Structures are given as C-alpha cells and as structure tokens.
C-alpha cells in the first residue's frame, strides 16, 4: 500500500499485478518512475501484495497497471476484487478497457467508483489500448456504480464533439491534467481548455490537476 500521487482525493494505491502493462501507452508515466523495474516483463500476480488493506480509505487499485486489459486472466481480477471486499474502503477502478467492468459486477466491492481515460475525442495517438469510442461505450454500459472520466494527458480536441461524448456518459466528475513528461503531444490552447471546463461545469464537477496549469500563459506560476 502506498500513498497516491496521481489523484489528491485518493488516499492509497494498491498494485497487485506487475510487469509491463499490455496497453503500452506512449505517454505512460511508469517508465519515468523509480519503480519502473517492477513493471517490466510478463504480467504476474504479486502474492505478497495480498495483505490487509485497512479500512476507511479511498484506494486506487491498479494505479501503475491496467488490471482490466483484455489479456489479464479473469480469475486474477476476481481474486483482486474478492480481496477488496474483505475491507470496507472505497475502491477506484480506472481502465482504458472498461467493458470488462461488466464481467465482474457480481464481485465488485460495495463502495466503488469506476472510470476511464479519454485524452481527446480524436483518434490521433498510437498505443495498444481500446479506441476512445469503445472506452466511452464500456463506461456507459456500467451504470451500476458512480462513474468518472479522466482527461489526462489532455490532447487537442473538437470542443462540442468532446462535450457531447462526455455528457452522454453522465460522469459524477471529470479530472483534467496535462502531460508531465514531455512526450511531445499535440495539446490544446489554454483558451480551449477553459472553454471545455466552462461547458463541463454545466453538468458535472471538474477537478483540475496542478499539471494542467502548464498550458496556461503563466505556465502555472
């Protein structure tokens, strides 16, 4: 169990699967981390990770590895969820393959918030993750739990198409952040970011990460 650096509203993270994430996102922050050596090679369950998780926390499960990727065995996911159910916490499950949430609904803990990442409404980046339309569809089909959307790292977008895509998913909040590792992504102007936030706030809560301010004229200063 570790404290969280990805979301300030999360109090701990738990990563029971290690090895290289099957999605291999081009902008992944894991290769820049101090524990990158733990996330190399074939994915595997870490037996020593199945320790008591405590109580009263908000735990991001799989913050360093998308445990819901298609190639992850279903019995691994079930075991992880059953372990979570032993401890009264709120569990955060975020995936670029949210269609698999449906497969595991009967095993989910009582307190769960599920989410997905959509960096833009466009199809401009190149990785092994499901396309953005499939992510949105997978999240939309999981209506049994509160949902959120992460727009990080934000990439250039078409405002009204992006707004419609997000609104149709009925998220309880949207988190927005920018690329922190200089991957050379095509990013929106600060004016477009502000316009996006203004429209999102008409129907949901917006949580802005500190790294988003790098896109402002003041550069976060």
Those residues of the chain that have pLDDT short of 50 are 221
CA 58 to CA 90: how far, in whole Å? 5
Smallest CA-to-CA distance from 93 within 11, 27, 13 is with 13
Q: What pLDDT score does 2 carry?
A: 55
Q: What pLDDT score does 144 carry?
A: 85
Smallest CA-to-CA distance from 208 within 181, 184, 175, 183 is with 175
Q: What pLDDT score does 151 carry?
A: 97
Helices in the chain by DSSP H: which ranges?
74-85, 132-140, 159-167, 190-200
Q: What pLDDT score does 142 carry?
A: 86
In CATH terms, the fold of domain 12-215 is TIM Barrel (3.20.20)
Q: Where are the domains of the chain?
A: 12-215
Q: Tell me: the pLDDT tens digits for 62-99?
A: 999 999 999 999 999 999 999 999 999 999 999 999 99
Q: What pLDDT score does 182 carry?
A: 83
Rounded to two decimals, what is the model's pTM? Answer: 0.93
Q: What pLDDT score does 183 carry?
A: 86
57: tokens are 């926390």
Q: What pLDDT score does 180 carry?
A: 84
Q: What pLDDT score does 127 carry?
A: 77
Q: Is 91 helix (H, G, I), strand (E, B) or coil?
A: strand
DSSP conformation letters of 120-181? -SS----SSSPPHHHHHHHHHT-TTS-EEEEE-S-----HHHHHHHHHTT--SEEEE---SS
Q: What pLDDT score does 40 carry?
A: 93
């Amino acid at each position: 169990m570790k404290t969280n650096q990805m979301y300030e509203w999360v109090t701990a993270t738990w990563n029971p699967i290690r090895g290289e994430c099957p999605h291999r996102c081009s902008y992944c922050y894991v290769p820049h981390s101090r524990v990158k050596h733990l996330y190399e090679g074939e994915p595997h369950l870490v037996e020593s990770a199945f320790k008591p998780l405590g109580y009263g926390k908000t735990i991001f499960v799989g913050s360093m590895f998308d445990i819901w990727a298609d190639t992850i065995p279903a019995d691994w996911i079930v075991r992880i969820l059953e372990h979570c159910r032993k401890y009264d916490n709120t569990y955060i499950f975020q995936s670029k393959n949210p269609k698999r949430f449906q497969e595991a609904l009967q095993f989910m803990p009582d307190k769960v918030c599920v989410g997905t990442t959509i960096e833009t409404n466009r199809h401009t980046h190149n990785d092994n993750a499901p396309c953005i339309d499939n992510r949105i569809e997978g999240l939309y089909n999981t209506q049994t739990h509160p949902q959120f959307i992460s727009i990080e790292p934000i990439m250039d977008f078409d405002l009204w198409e992006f707004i419609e895509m997000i609104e149709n998913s009925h998220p309880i909040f949207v988190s927005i952040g920018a690329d922190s590792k200089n991957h050379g992504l095509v990013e929106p102007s600060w004016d477009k970011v502000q316009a996006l936030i203004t429209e999102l706030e008409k129907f949901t809560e917006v949580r802005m990460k500190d790294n988003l301010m790098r896109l402002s004229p003041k550069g976060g200063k």
